[in-house]
Amino acid sequence: MPHRALTRLPSAERTAPYAAPVSTHEVTNQVPPLTGHSVLDTDAALTEGLRRWAGTPAYDDVADLGRLAGLAEWQRQGDLANANPPVLRSHSPTGERLDEVEFHPAWHALMATAVSHGLTAEPWTRPPGSGAHLRRAAGFYVWSQVEAGHLCPVSMTYAAVPALRASPALASEWVPKLASRTYEPELRPVGAKAGAIVGMGMTEKQGGSDVRANTTRARPATGGALAAADTYRLTGHKWFCSAPMSDAFLMLAQADDGPTCFLVPRVLDDGSRNSLALQRLKDKLGNRSNASSEVELDGTWGVRVGDEGRGVPTILGMVAATRLDCVLGSAATMRQALVRAVHHARHRAAFGALLVDQPLMTTVLADLALESEAATTLALRLAHAVDEGEHDFARLAVAVAKFWVCKRAAPMVAEALECLGGNGYVEDHGLPRLYREAPLNSIWEGSGNVNALDVLRALRREPAAVDAFVTEVERGRGHSEALDRAVASLADTVVGAGRPGAEAGARRVVESLALTLQASLLARHAPTPVADAFVATRLGEGGGRVFGSPETGLAGPRVLVDRAFPG
């Protein structure tokens, strides 16, 4: 048989080289970048909550940060911070210990913006009832959507103040620095700095969440290069020391009378470095821009915070505040995932129509919008409780929200990612980073089981917290039979928490409390379509086990989608 090249070609093939070329790279049906919008103004639940509980001045304070968060240049900074994770510099070229962490310039730019907008400890310096904590919470929520990792040291700096107040002398020295809007990353004595950042080192390799099992020892010391008198030498190993380039750390160690809280400065008053040997940085699933380290303490100077043996109660004030930030961070992650999914669906067509116009996709997006709005409203209500000094309500509600909202983030981000199809699995589209970030807040500051058992403990031992929680939820009575039934069942839930064996069902208890609280808040504060749909799918018989699977479909799903992120 003759070779193909030697035979006469059909006429179509003979003329093909002379035909007009066909482009193989014409780009159509692709989604434009999600930039140029205000992250604040396009979030109805956030703007309404901010104005409702803190007033228009608070909204105005957050407006600039909301605008920045939607700019391509700041989104690029978030990408760079994650693509260039911190590097440990343990030694100098000549062999001296450095124990320093080097960050990409994008990290410092993000930190400087967060600090300069008052996202650290500033609210604690404002009078009660001023709305400062809610204003700060809204800013934290907005800026988290640019990049979440750098908000870890920001959160710890905010949360350190309640613990430091157990030692008024320490608080007077450190709180003004932590509340400053000046970011100074250089390591210097705190007295020589205009602003400071605080990290935390609680957990150890043998104990994890069981901090009473810590083996780090603290021995009283005399003299030293610290301003306060109650100084100790700490010896041990911290398995997770977050933000190791901070100016100081709150740490737990065993003193003679038991677990005690200490403030451990990075640099002593005389300018010398404290003994903190950074052994390695954790290679984490997500949160990669942030440094989490293992650190050895060998005769390390620390100042006692509060009384000896009262370290756990002292640090719980910090834990409550960081748990609130976990709720805010998870709500922000959920929000950003929702926005990306809606934006994609509005611009991507398949099978002859835009995705957002196709009934099943609209139902999925509407269900995600309900979840996001409920999380956002609950997070803002908790911040408002801090402003108003509602300690009993916050005691139980923060633990409930920490369990539920943080637990819902991962499945919600996964569903939003699926809305983009294959594009959602590609790093360029942002959702892979959100997906890796999503489980973090459910683990940090007490995993799901720890928080669920904490809720059970409060139900059993703290009647004032229970009364405040029930009072808040009962304000939603009258919306619907389903919500009224859920409110009425709270009494049985509280009684059941005290029965033997209740620990095994603790997660179900917390889920019930969380959904009833969210439904009550939406019944009072959200538009009727939002509240009705949430109650029907979360408390009624109409909800499925995955997002977008109500039994009869959501009423007016496009209304819910358009409210969530206006076109």
In tens, the pLDDT along 316-330 reads: 889 999 999 999 999
Same domain? 296 vs 382: no
Q: Please, what's the b/e burial string for 93-110 (b: 16 or more CB within 10 A of its CB; e: otherwise)?
A: eeeeeebbbebbebbebb
207 class by beta-carbon count within 10 Å (0-12 exposed, 13-18 middle, 19+ buried): middle
Asked if residue 38 belongs to a domain, the reply is no
pLDDT higher than 60, residue 127: yes
pLDDT at 9: 46
Pairing of strands 248-255, 198-201: parallel
Average pLDDT along the chain: 93
b vs e for 390-415, b when ≥16 Cβ sit within 10 Å of the residue's Cβ? bebbbbbbbbbbbbbbbbbbbebbbb
The 3-state secondary structure of 456-523, one letter per residue? HHHHHHCHHHHHHHHHHHHCCCCCCHHHHHHHHCHHHHHHHHCCCCHHHHHHHHHHHHHHHHHHHHHH
Query: Averaged over 550-563, what is the pLDDT?
Result: 88
State whether 350 and 303 are in the same domain. Answer: no
Of 280, 309, 338, the domain-final residue: 309
449 plus 433 within the same structural domain: yes
CA distances from 563 to 39, 61, 236, 556 (A): 14, 23, 53, 11
pLDDT in tens, 443-470: 998 899 999 999 999 999 999 999 999 9
Within-domain flag for 168: yes
pLDDT in tens, 150-206: 999 999 999 999 999 999 999 999 999 999 999 999 999 999 999 999 999 988 988
Q: Are residues 219 and 359 both part of a single domain?
A: no
Residue-wise pLDDT tens digits, 507-517: 999 999 999 99
Note whether residue 10 is domain-resident: no
Domain boundary among 309, 335, 358: 309
Residues 160 and 216 occupy one common structural domain: yes
* Percent above pLDDT 70 for the chain: 94
Q: In CATH, what number is assigned to the domain containing residue 386?
A: 1.20.140.10
- Per-residue model confidence (pLDDT) at position 544: 84
First to last CA, the chain: 64
Same domain, 343 and 412: yes
Q: 402 in a domain, yes or no?
A: yes
Residue 153: what pLDDT? Answer: 97
Average pLDDT (510-537) is: 97
Q: Which pair of structure tokens corresponds to residue 59?
A: 């909204």
Is 371's pLDDT higher than 60? yes
Q: Are residues 284 and 366 in the same domain?
A: no
Instruction: Indicate whether 6 belongs to any domain.
Output: no
Mean pLDDT of 114-131: 96
Q: Taking each helix axis from N to C terminus, what angle separates 44-54 and 132-144, rounded to the nearest 10 degrees?
A: 160
Helices then strands (H, E): number in the chain? 20, 11
Q: pLDDT band at 17, cuts 50/70/90?
A: low
User: Looking at the domain assignment, is residue 21 inside a domain?
Assistant: no
- Residue 341 sits in the same domain as residue 428: yes
Same domain, 57 and 75: yes
Same domain, 425 and 317: yes
pLDDT over 70 (residue 13): no
On whether residue 7 sits in a domain, the answer given is no
Q: What is the mean pLDDT of residues 40-63?
A: 97
Q: Which helix (H) or strand (E) holds 349?
A: strand 349-350
Tell which of 251, 278, 309 closes a domain.
309
Domain with 350 in it: 313-564
Together in a domain, 322 and 287: no
Least confident of 84-98, 292-306, 472-486, 529-543: 529-543
401 and 424 fall within a common domain: yes
Sign of CA dihedral 424, 425, 429, 433: positive
513 vs 517: CA distance, rounded Å: 6
Q: What is the pLDDT of residue 7?
A: 45
Percent of residues, the chain, with pLDDT higher than 90:
87
Q: What is the CATH number of the domain that holds 113?
A: 2.40.110.20
Q: Which residue has the higher pLDDT, 102 or 5?
A: 102
Q: How many domains does the chain have?
A: 2
87 located within any domain: yes
At 225, the pLDDT band (50, 70, 90 cuts) reads very low
